[in-house]
Structure 1
């Protein structure tokens, strides 16, 4: 029976190991004072260590304890430091220092208390902290991969947006103001072409007039039916003075449009351009690469440039990437102010052509839209189940209004082409530039803001890559430390189990708890 008791294992939880040793008087409760003395002696002894590969490997990446000191003494015995004098004592001061350290450790079994505390600290704090840091590095790497893909996608979208906007404006985008200024010079040719193409609408205009005359049972005078469209068909894109006064001016004083293109830099689009954005929070002029950066881009909305009338080339909403840009007054300011002119002399607005003058151009567009609405309604009537021409109301209608839907569709197509040419995105912007030369500066800034955002996306991408590399490097450095710490903790566990077993007649000793699953 006594033999069975002696073979029973001793199970000690690692977290209670130090208390267990003190309670059973294997070491004193005031062991910390001796431990501080040992630490000082170890630090002093380590400064004068011989060059030895085995010693370097033993001391690398670990906290020196009693069992390390024993191994150091064994290694030193095989070197010149292990030589003894004629009295059988070590002549080397190194050996004396390390033997002195071991004697302090063994007094009152202080090394048992210190090793127990090391095991508790490693299992409870050190190893979990390293694992947590490694897991954080891995998580940040995954987030950086996702953010990098987002930044690449956003930068590509913004550059495509810039390219599409320039394409709609009819420019390359290298020198925006100069290219727009060149296009403005061609605007009169566009107006003349539109005026020439209105001759295609003669049949549609006659159709509209006859239809009105038939329904109203009266002769509609030319001046009552789309007067601006009819005037341009007859006179062409003449000056506004002739439209207002009914005669050509003797002299025309037209103010020229001046667009300042001096000192305009080339707009350069480069992938990965090195740009110093400074502190994104506006505090300093430096960017802290090591700090954790949250490049959230959820507030950036990219809308593709449209071709609807009155829609700008670029609409960008920025919520997270800087202050809102104040473009000032965005209303079109006409520099061509009308003035009192001498008799027979066209000045100010009267010196502008009808399609170049915003007021008369809108009247012309109104006539086109009115005619388009009429033709669209006629198409609906003619393509319905009951053809309106078959009704009794139109049996006595003139042949000029009893036409097929195909002919009306041809008229409507020609009309839509003219409206599309006059209201295209490119021409809309050119007209705004013509009416207000300051608009070209705002348009340039709006276009360049798209490239600025694209450059920021590239900057954020590079910062994300740099941060991911830092996390990869940190993980590579932490993994060996964790491996060494786990290995040394397991060694101390076995050494402590052996030391305790010696004091209990070699009974098996098991240190239990989380130490077995680290």
Structure 2
């Protein structure tokens, strides 16, 4: 039967279908504008009712909502009903008028059809896209957070590795570096002690040079290394002048601590007391209660000069060389004369001359060059001895010294090991750092800046990580808030579609109406 044949209408064609079947006019939108204005006015004066609040939440008010509002007003405005069954309430009259305007020319049907199309094609997909974007942002935030964490761990690892290499905790970097510099003398002492084990290698090298090049070429080879083997790590002054200095004036460590305050050093300054007190106590030299220095039994004559005792000119004449005139205007420092005092040879070692040979940058480099020269010789000699034919065979070494003839591959290899150990000690990265720290303030600043930069990068990564965490939390909350909103629109759209299908069905003798592609795809 025709009554049982369903009417299938696609959602996107619903409005065109209603217009083509002459259920609504093409100019229905002009009529809707008047109705929407009346709805906005009527909604301002509504009774407090749970059903009305539920109808007005989460959806656009349409014709079917208006009919439900009238049903609710029949209960709330029942007291205004007169004897003839009409309501005197203005609220009821306003909403009844709105419903009549909707039903004229089926304007309501065109509007709800457009609402259904908009919800299906735009509203719900838009919210879905927002939720998907939020989830994508969460994934990106997770990746960024892992990246920031990885970078932070990397730079902190580099910082800790460098601090471990320098032997410092990395809190007060400059102060800690200055403390580590004090370890250099002990390191150089160990290097000098190990250098003594190189004596056989040096003798072997010297004998080889003498045999190949002659006696005149033996003196200049690894001379500094020979000196350290014989005398140890002496001052540069003693190496240059052949005698130890009487006194050594070391140059203080030139590191600027102004940008790094160490609380543990506060209070270690010398307190000279009140500025008005001129008292200086040098021990037993004078009275501590007097504002003067006691030099003993020195007396002054009437003119204020120092009285040197009862020495007359006759006694001066009896002294040896008394007739010699002494010029006291000679500057010993400018003349370069080394003063000999109380039988102890030497003078004052200043500047680079006060440094030890392994601490002086110039002589230290010479020492390293000597070690590398010796190492190169031993490697070449070992290669020759291990080859198929030795360039210096036993027949050629018959006139050489026993030290050349008796050397074996194993003995040369042992010498090479000792040289490489000593070279490794003096060129160790930590020793290099400490040496540069002591002799180069710019190197200290560069080193500290590098360490602080790694900490700054780690802090920036940590801050960026916190920002990403907050961002991820925010988009997560946004996605969570959009989810119920989308579900509410879907539920309202399903309800609206059912109402449209039912309304159209009444116009076709209750034939079943199916709106295709509507909420079924949501």
Q: TM-score range by the shorter chain?
A: 0.7 to 0.9
Q: 1:135 Cα shift?
A: 0.9
Alpha-carbon distance in 1 for matches of 2:518, 2:223: 95
2:514 partner SS: strand
- Which of the numbers 425, 428, 453 marks the counterpart of 1:424? 428
Q: Is 1:137 matched up with 2:124?
A: no
Q: Does 1:357 align with 2:339?
A: no
How many Å separate the matches in 2 of 1:396 and 1:492?
118
Secondary structure of the corresponding residue to residue 510 of structure 1: strand
Aligned match for 2:143, one of 143, 146, 154: 146
Question: Could you tell me which of 451, 465, 468 is aligned with 1:464?
Answer: 468
C-alpha displacement of 1:221? 5.4
The question of 1:438 aligning with 2:447 is answered no
- Deviation for aligned residue 1:75: 2.8
Residue 228 in structure 1 maps to residue 232 in structure 2: no
Give per-residue Cα distances to partners, 1:134-186, cap 9 Å, x unaligned.
11111111121222222222212221211110010111111000011112233
Q: Tell whether 2:115 aligns with 1:118.
A: yes
Name the CA distance, whole Å, in 2 between partners of 1:220 and 1:363. 21
Cα distance in structure 2, aligned partners of 1:36 and 1:236: 106
Instruction: Give the whole-Å Cα distance in 2 for the aligned partners of 1:469 and 1:346.
Output: 69
What secondary structure sits across from 1:223 in the alignment?
A: coil
Q: 1:271-304 CA deviation, whole Å, 9 max, x = no partner?
A: xxxxxxxxxxxxxxxxxxxxxxxxxxxxxxxxxx
Structure 1 residues 413-460: Cα deviation after superposition (integer angstroms, max 9, x where no partner):
322222222222222122222222232222111101111111111111
Gaps of 5+ in 2: 264-332, 339-347
Does residue 43 of the first structure (1) align with residue 40 of the second (2)? Answer: yes
Q: Name which one, 1 or 2, has greater alpha-carbon Rg.
A: 2
Equivalent of residue 515 in structure 2, options 502, 508, 511: 511
In 2 relative to 1, CA 385–127 (structure 1 residues): closer, same or farther, beyond 3 Å?
A: farther
Match of 2:451, SS?
helix
For 1:24-423, list aligned pairs within 5 A: 24-80=21-77, 84-214=81-211, 216=212, 218-219=214-215, 222-248=218-244, 252-262=248-258, 264=260, 342-344=336-338, 346-383=349-386, 392-393=395-396, 398-401=401-404, 402-423=406-427
Over residues 98-131 of structure 1, what are the superposed CA-to-partner deviations in whole Å (9 max), with x where a residue is unaligned?
2222122112211111111111211221111111
Is residue 209–residue 220 contact of structure 1 (8 Å, CA) maintained in 2?
no
The verdict on how the C-alpha distance between 1:106 and 1:371 changes in structure 2, with shifts beyond 3 A counting, is same
CA contact (8 A) 1:229 1:364 kept: yes
**Once the 2 structures are TM-superposed, how far is the Cα of residue 188 of structure 1 from its aligned partner?**
3.0
Instruction: Please report how far the alpha carbon of residue 491 of structure 1 lies from its aligned counterpart in structure 2 after TM superposition.
Output: 2.0
Q: 1:400 is paired with a residue of what secondary structure?
A: helix
The Cα offsets for residues 59-86 of structure 1, whole Å up to 9 and x where unpaired, read as 2211111112222222333335575233
Secondary structure of 2:23's partner? coil
Tell me the CA shift for residue 38 of structure 1. Answer: 2.5
Query: d(CA) in 2 for partners of 1:245 and 1:430?
Result: 28
What is the CA–CA distance in structure 2 between the aligned matches of 1:397 and 1:409, rounded to whole Å?
A: 21
Deviation at 1:396, TM superposition (A): 6.7
Q: d(CA) in 2 for partners of 1:154 and 1:382? A: 52
**TM-score between the two structures when normalised by the length of structure 2:** 0.77
* Residues 381 and 49 of structure 1, relative CA distance in 2, 3 Å threshold: farther
Q: 1:19: how far off?
A: 2.4
The question of 1:493 aligning with 2:497 is answered yes
Distance 1:394 1:511, change over 3 A: farther
Question: What is the CA-CA distance between 1:194 and the residue it aligns to?
Answer: 2.1
In structure 1, stretches of 5+ residues that fail to align are: 268-338
Regions of 4+ moved over 6 Å: 385-391
Q: For 1:264, what is the secondary structure of its paired residue?
A: coil
Q: Is the 8 A contact 1:174 1:266 kept in 2?
A: no
User: CA contact under 8 A between 2:210 and 2:217: conserved in structure 1?
Assistant: no
| Contact 1:76 1:82 survives alignment (8 Å) | no
Comparing 190-199 and 173-182, the one that deviates more: 190-199
Equivalent pair of 1:77/1:83 in contact (CA under 8 Å): no
Measured on the aligned residues, the alpha-carbon RMSD in Å equals: 2.9
Q: 3-state SS of the aligned residue for 2:438?
A: helix
Question: C-alpha distance in 1, partners of 2:388/2:78?
Answer: 115
Aligned length: 443
- Is the alpha carbon distance of 1:195 and 1:54 closer, same or farther for their aligned partners in structure 2, counting shifts above 3 Å? same
Does the 8 Å contact 1:81/1:91 carry over to 2?
no
Distance 1:372 1:136 in 2: 66
Q: Secondary structure at the match of 1:12?
A: strand
Query: Could you state the TM-score of these two structures normalised by the residue count of structure 1?
Result: 0.77
